[in-house]
Amino acid sequence: MHQFKLLGRLLPLLSLFVSSLATADVLDDILDRGAIRVGVAEFVPWTMRNKSGDLIGFEVDVAKQIASDMGVEAELKVYDWDAIIPALDKGEIDVIAGGMAITPERALKVNFSRPLAISGVGLATNTNKTQNMKTLDDLNDKSVTITTVAETMAANVARTLFDRANVKIFPTKEPAEKAVIEGSAHAYLAGVPEVRFLVLRNPAKLDLPINEPLVASSEALAVRKGEQQLLNFLDAWVTVRQTDSWLATSRDYWFGTLDWAPTLGD
């Protein structure tokens, strides 16, 4: 009887051990097949297509460098943004490249690596309209017009930080950007890369008053829940590539310049 009781206690542990073995071999699968399948979504400058139709961008660089450091090929798979986590769940891909912001909601669905970049909501201002303003609080006035785009983190930030200003929320970015460029609005809130590129394209009319995000978020690689071996490798990879400045150098090129813009397709 004592042996049966002991066996009853051991069976759950044995089941857990077997289960862990069944889910811990994804890294081995990658090495065996000679390729890591990386999910990306087309957003400038994370993932884009050049004139030849090839994928380029920060995420593409990250995927290729991870693969190179593993000694395998990078197999890039493009998804609509809302389909990329389901694709990971189904095992169509091994990892989501590094443009995904870490949120509690997403952390219930995927395992995130160490953060590899900081992003968030940025601010571009019309130089002439704001030349006498000294602080961000000067923008929070009923005489000030701020534009942004509906259903974005930037729209929520605009309503919260500039609750006394005239916040105009547009369905798409084009009219929101046009308003601040032409001077019918004082400022424009959007993702940090977008406002930086807008200023780089319109240096005579626009300014980037602060380099840091108004509200920051961390971006990371994502794997399926329970894939601890692969996650351990990616954590180590992020640590190494932050230490040797590879990530910072790549990030500066794609997010701090427009040198790559002439190579883009239509």
Supply the CATH number for residue 129's domain.
3.40.190.10
The Cα 155–Cα 45 span in angstroms is: 21
pLDDT confidence band for 9 (50 / 70 / 90): low
Q: Is 135 helix (H, G, I), strand (E, B) or coil?
A: coil
pLDDT confidence band for 6 (50 / 70 / 90): very low
pLDDT confidence band for 11 (50 / 70 / 90): very low
The Cα 184–Cα 167 span in angstroms is: 12
| Residue in 189, 187, 205 with CA at minimum distance from that of residue 144 | 187
pLDDT for the residue numbered 75: 97
- Which tokens is 232 given? 């351990």
**Pair (15, 114) in one structural domain:** yes
pLDDT confidence band for 89 (50 / 70 / 90): very high
Query: pLDDT at residue 262 above 90?
Result: yes
pLDDT for the residue numbered 240: 97
| Residue in 57, 53, 67 with CA at minimum distance from that of residue 95 | 67
Residue in this structure with the two tokens 């005579």, named with its chain if needed: 204
Supply the angle between the helices 246-256 and 192-201 in degrees, to the nearest 10: 50
Residue in this structure with the two tokens 């590129």, named with its chain if needed: 197
**Pair (225, 254) in one structural domain:** yes
Q: Please report which helix (H) or strand (E) contains residue 16, including its range.
A: helix 2-23
Listed in sequence order, the residues at least 6 apart from 58 whose beta carbon sits closer than 8 Å to its beta carbon are 45, 46, 47, 98, 99, 250, 251, 254, 255
Query: pLDDT at residue 48 above 60?
Result: yes
pLDDT in tens, 204-229: 999 999 988 999 989 999 999 999 99
| Strand bridging mode 117-126 / 95-101 | unpaired
The Cα 92–Cα 148 span in angstroms is: 35
Supply the angle between the helices 58-70 and 228-243 in degrees, to the nearest 10: 110
Quote the pTM value. 0.77
For the chain, what is the mean pLDDT? 89
**Pair (107, 138) in one structural domain:** no
Taking the alpha carbons at both ends of the chain, their separation in whole angstroms is 75
pLDDT for the residue numbered 151: 80
pLDDT confidence band for 189 (50 / 70 / 90): very high
**Pair (149, 52) in one structural domain:** no
pLDDT for the residue numbered 81: 85
**Pair (6, 97) in one structural domain:** yes
pLDDT in tens, 17-47: 444 444 447 999 999 999 999 999 988 899 9
Residue in this structure with the two tokens 């160490």, named with its chain if needed: 114
Burial (CB count <10 Å: 0-12, 13-18, 19+), residue 30: buried
Provide the residue count of the chain. Answer: 266
pLDDT for the residue numbered 212: 86
**Pair (170, 225) in one structural domain:** no
Residues 156-181, mean pLDDT to the nearest whole number: 94
Supply the angle between the helices 228-243 and 26-33 in degrees, to the nearest 10: 70
The Cα 194–Cα 176 span in angstroms is: 12
pLDDT in tens, 137-160: 999 999 999 999 988 889 989 999
**Pair (129, 84) in one structural domain:** no
**Pair (85, 73) in one structural domain:** yes
Domain that holds residue 103: 2-118+218-263
Domain count for the chain, please give it: 2
pLDDT confidence band for 234 (50 / 70 / 90): very high
Query: pLDDT at residue 243 above 50?
Result: yes
Query: pLDDT at residue 70 above 80?
Result: yes
Beta strands in 105-191 (DSSP E): 110-112, 117-126, 145-149, 166-170, 187-191
pLDDT in tens, 97-142: 968 888 898 999 999 999 999 888 999 999 999 999 999 999 999 9
**Pair (183, 56) in one structural domain:** no
